[in-house]
Amino acid sequence: MATHSVQDLNEADFRQAVSVGLTLVDFWAPWCSPCRMMGPVLQELLERHAGLTVARVNVDEAKVLAAQFHVQAIPLLVLLKDGHELDRFVGLQSASSLTQAIGKHMTGITKPM
């Protein structure tokens, strides 16, 4: 089984990266402890959901994107489909709560726990 990793996005590649399919974007910063704690959760989501892209945006380096998405607290996770926002989650989230939300938009491809 191929190992997938979380993609690091910036202002230059963001639009193209989220334009097709279902993407969960983590707005984060390296100094944010809860943001760092999301790392294993994001990796678990990649392993559980075929077809899901998981990416992250460093808000300190991509201030324009942070402003466009009205990021006021981090971590902020935004679920996008074909570039359009479906849902957002503020603060540390569990894999199970995110799986439930993702499952609403991805029927039939969630792997069993």
Residues acting as catalytic residues: 32, 35
Identity of residue 46: L
Taking each continuous run of H as one helix and of E as one strand, the counts in the chain are: 4, 5
41 φ/ψ angles, rounded to the nearest 5 degrees = -65, -45
Neighbours of 62 (CB within 10 A): 19
